[in-house]
Amino acid sequence: MRRLIIGISGASGAIYGLRALEMLRDFDDVETHLVISPSAIRTALAEGTGKTADEIRGLADRVYSHGDIGASIASGSFRCDGMLVAPCSIKTLSGIAHCYADDLIVRAADVCLKERRRLVLMVRETPLHAGHIALMDQATRNGAVIMPPVPSFYTLPKSIAEMVDQTVGRALDQFGLHHPTVRRWTEDHND
């Protein structure tokens, strides 16, 4: 059984984390471990995801309290394939970049980095100032993959849902999880 930690922070774009959890249910061999911040729950409700906090938590196999830095996923002895933070707020990025693990999302991410496990951060902020870019640079130097949720228009998406699925699917690619909804670039496309 593969294990993947999903962190959902309070940045706009809670749908990315929700869809990641939903898409991961299609993999029989993947167990999901969720940490969702209080701000993320508020954002998910405000953005009209149609899911209550309990419904979001129900998408994961295991759920941990945001403040429980003593949870199993806060230890390097917890074996997993890595962690996806979707979306990743600038506050969470800052904690990760500076190893300031005052909540479980940041602590679990820091553990992934120290154990040399894949950490993918779907940083959600625009425009960016030099401080944001420096944080992304530092997180990358620490071993994280910075993957802002940028839509791919070569897929000719017909809805926001298709854009979200493509973006989340590409993030899951980073863990070797290939979801059938992802449309791949082919040589059939014209320039």
* Residues of the binding site for FMN: 10-12, 37, 89-92, 124
C-alpha closest to that of 123 among 99, 142, 96: 96
Sign of CA dihedral 160, 94, 65, 115: positive
Counting Cα atoms < 13 Å in the Cβ hemisphere of 183 gives 17
Binding-site residues for dimethylallyl phosphate: 154, 170
C-alpha closest to that of 84 among 34, 128, 124: 34
DSSP 185: P
CA distance 127 to 33: 31
Task: Determine if the peptide bond prior to 157 is cis (ω within 30°).
Answer: no
C-alpha closest to that of 145 among 124, 167, 174: 174
Give the list of residues 6+ apart from residue 22 with CB closer than 8 angstroms, or none: 59
C-alpha closest to that of 24 among 2, 43, 45, 39: 2
Binding-site residues: 10-12, 37, 89-92, 124, 154, 170
